[in-house]
Amino acid sequence: MNYQPLGIVARFPSMRAHATIQASPEAGNGRFELDGNGMMVFSLQSTKEPDEMSVELLDVRIEFKQTKIEAANFGTFEIPAFTITKSDFDLHQTHGTLYRSNKQVKLQLAVRLDPAHFPILRKLGIYRPETVIATESGILDWEAGRHFETHAEPFKLPSPLDFLTVSPGQFDVCTLEVKLYAGSTCEYAEKERLKEVWICPGDDVCLIWLIDHGSPTKITLDPSGIDVTGSTHEIVNPMDTTEYTVTVESGDCKADDQVTVRVIKEGENILHITAPWSGWGSCIWKCDLPEALFGESVIAVEMRTVLCDGGMSVFPQWGYEHTTPDGEHYSGNVYEEWTDIIDQPVAGEWKFSPSGVDDCTKLPGTTGWESGCFDFRLSCK
């Protein structure tokens, strides 16, 4: 039987890194902490040993806070805030093994201390890149909330920093994740999962939040700052366009997400849509606008065809057919100037056909027609 490798990418977007720095007795002792927050991405690949998976570092970004190291016989070292990325690792020497049976992981992290990236090193007498090896062991379980936690044995930094010993206590992962969605009803919000909706002043909007990989002890909804712990949704009806943020917390672990509720007012009522071409042999450009996108009082009053992303307008004149979710039918023409389209709902299926064009087939070897773009001027009933 041929060996078939299994590959998994484990992403840890909310990670805490902590290191303890110890000065030697000759330096006057002293114990100091170094803390950072960031993310890591690992590639897990199966091997010919059924219980073992190789671990490779794909990406990393950890932002460390400013700190001071005070050693009685050497004075005070001020270490400004700094960030390490994958360019600060020797990826050829950074690798590990995950044992699937017990989720234990052993990692060798080869960190490159490059004075070009860390100017503080030049002040301390290090002018060439130095690589230090930290051997970590712990748990890596991507199935149970993508849990990751490691502990390391102490190691010494290179000369002239060899009077300092580092023990990187651990990397641990904030497993909390939250997604915030909006919709004209809670049912629509959960189904369509929109990040933006349009309403008239007084219309209700349901905001729902979905939480993964953790049980938060506190949930806050801004800009009002209200505590919504224990709930999964909130009904809002802002009078002005508002960006809402939900923040979930558990201990030092925090995650947040945003949605925008756009309130229709003069000068804030233009909805831009893109209608892709339906394909070969078709003269129809089509898009569907979900009912969740609009409050119950929103209507469309005018429309025009516009350029897509600064490119050329596909055609200057179109015919349209609009079928609402309730089965109502509307039709008419659209031009480059604002066109009255008779007050009608906005949600539903929109089909556009270029006026006076019967054959939309492109020549062989081309990719087809570009999308058509249109603006709606929205208003309230």
The CA distance from 63 to 35, in Å, is: 8
pLDDT score for 1: 43
Q: What is the largest CA-CA distance in the chain?
A: 89
Query: 285: which residues sit within 8 A by CB, 6+ positions away?
Result: 275, 276, 277, 278, 314, 318, 351, 352, 353, 369, 371, 372
Tokens, residue 102: 């017990």
Q: Is 277 helix (H, G, I), strand (E, B) or coil?
A: strand
pLDDT tens, position by position, 228-250? 998 999 999 999 999 999 998 87
Vertex 350: Cα angle to 344 and 353 (nearest 5): 120
Confirm if 37 and 179 have CB atoms less than 8 A apart: no
Confirm if 164 and 154 have CB atoms less than 8 A apart: no
Confirm if 341 and 332 have CB atoms less than 8 A apart: yes
The CA distance from 353 to 275, in Å, is: 11
Whole-model pTM: value is 0.60
Q: Distance of CA 256 to CAs 41, 175, 311, Å?
A: 20, 12, 36
Q: Which helix (H) or strand (E) holds 348?
A: strand 348-354
pLDDT tens, position by position, 104-118? 999 999 999 888 877
pLDDT score for 374: 95
Q: Which helix (H) or strand (E) holds 341?
A: strand 339-344
pLDDT score for 282: 80
Identity (one letter) of the amino acid at 223?
Answer: P
- Which residues of the chain fall short of a pLDDT of 70? 1-5, 142-146, 174-175, 213-214, 251-252, 310-313, 362-367
| Residue that has been written with the tokens 């659209």 in this structure | 334
Q: Which helix (H) or strand (E) holds 190?
A: helix 186-192
Tokens, residue 10: 């484990």
The CA distance from 149 to 306, in Å, is: 53
Tokens, residue 365: 């070897």
Query: 251: which residues sit within 8 A by CB, 6+ positions away?
Result: 217
Complete domains list, the chain, with CATH:
7-173 (2.40.160), 177-263 (2.60.40.10), 270-380 (2.60.120)
Q: Report residue 151: phi and psi, to 5°.
A: -135, 150
Count of positions (residues) in the chain: 381
